[in-house]
Amino acid sequence: MIMDNEEDVFNKAISAIGGKNTRESLEKTQQFSDSVMGVDTSGKVAEDINSRSLEQMKEQRSLPRLQIKDYPYSIGYEKLLHIIKNFEETGCSPNFKYFIIASYLFGGRVSETNKLTRSSITSRIMHGEPYLVARMITLKRKDGQDRTVVCPKNSFEHEMVEIFEKEFLSHFYGNEILFNLDRRYAWHQCHKIDIGPILVKRQNPTNRKWSTPIRQHFNAYPHYFRHMRLTSLAIDYNYSDASLREFTNWKSTAMAATYTALNASDQALKMNAVMSSIRNLK
């Protein structure tokens, strides 16, 4: 390893501390020189960080990364529709609302929604009801397997479907790409959307247990609208873990528990639906 000689090191150090030739400055210069030359105050060679063995470096990389995860609860369809109808209040680009609608209706990740083309979305009549059908890629599947997702046109979400079809989808043809957004741009735009105070729970990075939900202020991010869709499928459409796996093309149902967490109000809605069907049978 080639190093500057001691005189050059001292000159650089003196320049770094303002060129003062006082005793204090010279002491600082000596400390600077020692650190650069790899020598401690007793004259012993300091431990070089590059001397760590390859095995030690690999071991350090393999250590689990402790990452705190926040899990925000869904704001629900009605509040999202309100945001879409009053989108100018968010400060986002006006056309970005269609990206949010597509992310919600088709439950895609940012890069999956970004690769949608006009020809990948069709209208079909299935079992007597009209549906939007989207053919989407699944980025996290190494086998490259695509998935087909459906969205009913006559459900409680019909207003959002109409906005997407009439205001946006009707202007594209053939294999035209609907969105061609940079991921950072999508994150930047979403962060402008003030969701307001909502319930959020936090995962302990050591034991992976979730805390009791607390209400806190929240700004959106692209993946949040996918989360909203999956939560809606579980609550409003009674999707099971297995059905969610088919919708998302997950390899297992392990992720379903994260996306389908039910708060007290959600549980009550599902129970009310069951009790209502029982009363109708009597």
CB 30, CB 45: distance < 8 Å: no
Per-residue pLDDT, 185: 94
Per-residue pLDDT, 42: 45
For residue 154, give both structure tokens. 């006559």
* DSSP letter, residue 43: S
Per-residue pLDDT, 128: 92
3-state helix, strand, coil in the chain (%, to 5): 50, 15, 35
Contacting residues for 162 by C-beta, under 8 A, at least 6 apart: none
Q: Which residue in 260, 277, 226 sits closest to 112, CA to CA?
A: 226
For residue 220, give both structure tokens. 């959106």
Residues 154-202: pLDDT tens digits? 999 999 999 999 999 999 999 999 998 988 999 999 999 998 888 887 7
Per-residue pLDDT, 60: 47
| Cα 163 from Cα 169, distance rounded (Å) | 9
Q: Is the dihedral of CA 184, 190, 196, 200 positive or negative?
A: negative
Per-residue pLDDT, 250: 83
pLDDT per residue, tens digit, the chain (282 aa), is: 444 554 554 455 445 444 444 445 445 544 544 444 444 444 444 444 444 455 554 454 444 444 456 778 889 999 999 999 999 999 999 999 999 999 999 999 999 999 999 999 999 999 999 999 999 988 876 666 788 999 999 999 999 999 999 999 999 999 999 998 988 999 999 999 998 888 887 777 777 777 777 888 889 999 999 989 998 888 888 888 888 888 888 877 777 776 665 555 565 666 666 566 656 665
Per-residue pLDDT, 35: 46
Per-residue pLDDT, 13: 46
Model pTM score = 0.68
| Cα 74 from Cα 234, distance rounded (Å) | 12
Per-residue pLDDT, 48: 44
For residue 110, give both structure tokens. 């940012």
| Cα 14 from Cα 33, distance rounded (Å) | 10
